[in-house]
Amino acid sequence: MMLVGDFFRLSLHNLLLHKVRSTLTSLGVIFGVGSVIAMLAISEGAKRSALAQIEAMGVDKIIVFSKRPPVSGKSESSKNASIMERFGLSSVDRSNIAKMDNIGQITAVFNTRKPILKGTRRTDLKLMGCDYEFLRDSQARMQKGRWFSPSDYKNNRCVCVIGKNVKRQLFFLGSANIIGNTIRVGDDVFRIIGILDNRYSNQYPEIGGQNDMILIPMTTARALYKDYTSIREGRNFRIARVEYDLFLIKIKDTSCIDNTAKRVTRYLEKNHSETKDWGITVPLELLMRMEQTQNIFTIVMGSIAGISLVVGGIGIMNIMLANIYERRKEIGIRRALGAQKLDILLQFLIETVFLTSIGGLIGILLGVGIGSMITYYTGMPTIYTTWSIILALVISSLTGIIFGTYPAYKAAQQNPITVLRAE
């Protein structure tokens, strides 16, 4: 029986004698492992990014929002006429919801629905009134300047905090520091005191993301605009009355968040039964649903990539079977000189595992390179986990064992007399 070290040296020597064939044989494993690593990294990156966005909305919060009720049962003439309509969340709703069990605090946002112009062109930016706690509850941060102070609310000051995208849309590219500049909305002028950045680019229902908002104190919004808004639809105007567009409801005990959400839903269904002018979102439920979906997606992606490893393994088995035929003389001489069947089997099996393991290492580097290129050119995050790399190595080695065992067994079964006579 040969020593283990001798098996490895002999296997490595035989592989190096046929460098091109060894390289071509391991290509299937290289690309298989590379695709496994790249796909799992892309899947994990997408999963973390999506979950981070949902978590940023607040897993300890319930989001209730206003929406315009569906138009039904109206004639065309009534649709085209200038009308006044009232819908959405009200101060009564806020007061009643705040009295419920397990409700900690309610932070409100109001969409003034005033057009924001750049020259004569209308932008998609929004002028929003918000409570003092909105910065904290939305998990945004100040990029420059400061957030509103209590005195800004007390004195109804015409100051604003803008999202980072607002700067890009309203000011010239070379504008370095815009703190202290002003923004005109209709006849009102607001002084910029800060720039806000929500790194997760959260999108709230109906009102959009903070990075595209011009935020002003809620008291200032009420003093200037009350809760009446004129909205132009084609050639027609309508007047909408909406007190609040968004409630961020902080929950005291998240283990009971489902029951609390059901209670809020029942209240809104009862008090807004005729208008259906509200919606509700529970980020914690979205988070759990997203985790389940992403786990399934990861399994599917890994399975698809694993198919290429199986194909690579079959290719290795075919090459090794052909290799046995080419090396019949070597096998016959070794058997005639006293080598046991187990020696032949181990030699060929180690050669196969060598090929797949080295191919696995190269495949890992290939997968990391593919993921890095995707991140560089598309901005899509890719995350490499330790378990995925270990899994790829284990699978590549198992591929060598599984698909190399049969060729090794066939080599060990060669009759030395028959082989040498044929040669």
Spatial CB neighbours of 23, under 8 Å, sequence gap ≥ 6: none
Task: Count the Cβ atoms, other than its own, within 10 Å of residue 200.
Answer: 19
With contact defined as beta carbons under 8 Å apart, do 281 and 65 qualify? yes
Q: What is the pLDDT of residue 92?
A: 93
Task: Count the Cβ atoms, other than its own, within 10 Å of residue 63.
Answer: 19
* Bigger pLDDT: 74 vs 16: 16
Question: 3-state DSSP call for residue 253?
Answer: coil
C-alpha to C-alpha distance for 47 and 292, rounded to whole angstroms: 10
Question: 3-state DSSP call for residue 239?
Answer: strand
Spatial CB neighbours of 59, under 8 Å, sequence gap ≥ 6: 254, 283, 284, 287
pLDDT in tens, 275-299: 788 999 888 777 777 777 777 777 7
User: 66, 17, 127: which is closest to 276 by C-alpha?
Assistant: 66
Sign of CA dihedral 174, 144, 167, 53: positive
* Bigger pLDDT: 151 vs 283: 151
- Average the pLDDT over 204-209 and give the result: 88
Question: 3-state DSSP call for residue 285?
Answer: helix
Q: What angle do CA 99, 105, 108 make, to 5 degrees?
A: 105
pLDDT in tens, 218-247: 999 999 988 776 666 556 667 778 899 999
3-state SS of 122-163 is ECCCEEEEECCCHHHHCCCEEEEECCCCHHHHHCCCCEEEEE
- Average the pLDDT over 4-24 and give the result: 70
Buried b vs exposed e over 212-223: b needs ≥16 C-beta within 10 Å?
A: bbbbbbbbbbee
Q: What pLDDT band is residue 75 in, cutting at 50, 70 and 90?
A: very low
pTM beyond 0.75, yes or no: no
Query: What are the φ/ψ torsions at residue 159 (nearest 5 degrees)?
Result: -120, 160
Q: What is the pLDDT of residue 64?
A: 94
- Average the pLDDT over 351-366 and give the result: 85
DSSP H helices in 230-327: 257-271, 283-326
Q: What is the pLDDT of residue 238?
A: 72
Q: What pLDDT band is residue 79 in, cutting at 50, 70 and 90?
A: very low
